[in-house]
Amino acid sequence: MLAHVALHGEDSHGDLHKSQIVCRARATVGTGWTGAARPAERRPWPAPRRHTGGVDGELPAGARWDRPAGMTGAAYDAGYVATASTSLLRDLAAQAYGEDYPREVEPFGMTTWWVLGQVVAHARVGPGHRLVDLACGRGGPGLWLARATGASLVGVDWSSVAVEASRERAASFVPEGRARFVVGDLAETGLPDGSADAVVCLDAIFFAPDRVATLREVRRVLRPGGRFVFTASEGVTAPGRHAVPDWEPLLSAAGLTLEWRAPVPGFAEHLRRMYALWLEHLDRIVAELGPGPARSMEQEARSLGPTLQPGQGVLVVARRPGGTDS
């Protein structure tokens, strides 16, 4: 998933090198689209729904987030097009993350080798199982996981450009027919009830305007006993208006059970190195992505870099009750 929240000065947090891409998208979306196929029609992101939960029917803290107006499916499409012509961001990410960066996967966000290994361990899928990757982006993490586990893959993203890129990459990871990709969004995937043995969502769930609705969609798609593995920010000290102090009450409100939670190793250190590289290479960023994205990246690096703390990035494992513990 290609969003970040530093949209020309919006509050932001944690999701590696996505702000500049959406800013670039906002600058280019009106100029036409030049990908391999025109974007498919998409439903608008669902409005927040009414829930009951928490104390006296109140929603748990962090249940909702006001999505910035510029964070649209069209902006995502244009962002993927804008970054397809340069390897600069991937090169800087590889330099910042070092041996922890899975270069073949080319992730956006905190997806490291450790994260991929934990998903394999906790999703508990293999041949004959179906893994769903929500907000799959260009498909790298989901395809790598499908290859590593032998499971089949369904990737969901609301950018048709990302979906098309995922389809093109699939043959490099898995045999034909093992992976398919569809346009959908976090709270309305369009997938059948109970069709997934596991669901993964890396660095994206906090962008849902209604987190409880999204988690309920995950529960609906999961088979009883299936697991949901995701990475996100957590904690009252996390910067940005979309911070979640504790994911467990949100999971509970959606009918999911928290099984395990751990900080992502090196989260703050990696991002500090990433921010330092952004500042060091601002001239190249201006030349290859444009002055708007460069300004947003510089602002983010200078304002958020000093606030990062260990433990803000977490990997969470939840389970839909019922079924067998497989």
Spatial distance between the Cα atoms of 201 and 129, rounded to a whole number of angstroms: 17
Whether residue 282 contacts residue 298, with contact meaning beta carbons closer than 8 Å, is answered with yes
C-alpha dihedral over 58, 64, 65, 71, to 10 degrees? -160
Per residue in 256-267, pLDDT (tens digit) is 999 999 999 999
Pairing of strands 222-233, 313-319: antiparallel
Confidence of residue 6 (pLDDT cuts 50, 70, 90): very low
Of 4 and 207, the one with more pLDDT:
207
Residues 282-287 have a mean pLDDT of 93
Quote the CA–CA distance of 108 and 98 in Å, as a whole number.
15
Query: What is the spatial distance between Cα 49 and Cα 209, in angstroms, rounded to a whole number?
Result: 9
* pLDDT tens-place string over residues 124-178: 999 999 999 999 999 999 999 999 999 999 999 999 999 999 999 999 999 999 9
Domains of the chain are: 19-36+57-319 (3.40.50.150)
- Cα dihedral across residues 289, 294, 300, 302: positive or negative: positive
Query: What angle, 0 to 180 degrees and rounded to 10, lies between the N-to-C axes of helices 73-83 and 19-28?
Result: 100
What pLDDT is recorded for position 236?
63
- Which of helix, strand or coil describes residue 139? coil
Predicted confidence (pLDDT) at residue 323 exceeds the cutoff of 90:
no
Whole-model pTM over 0.85: no
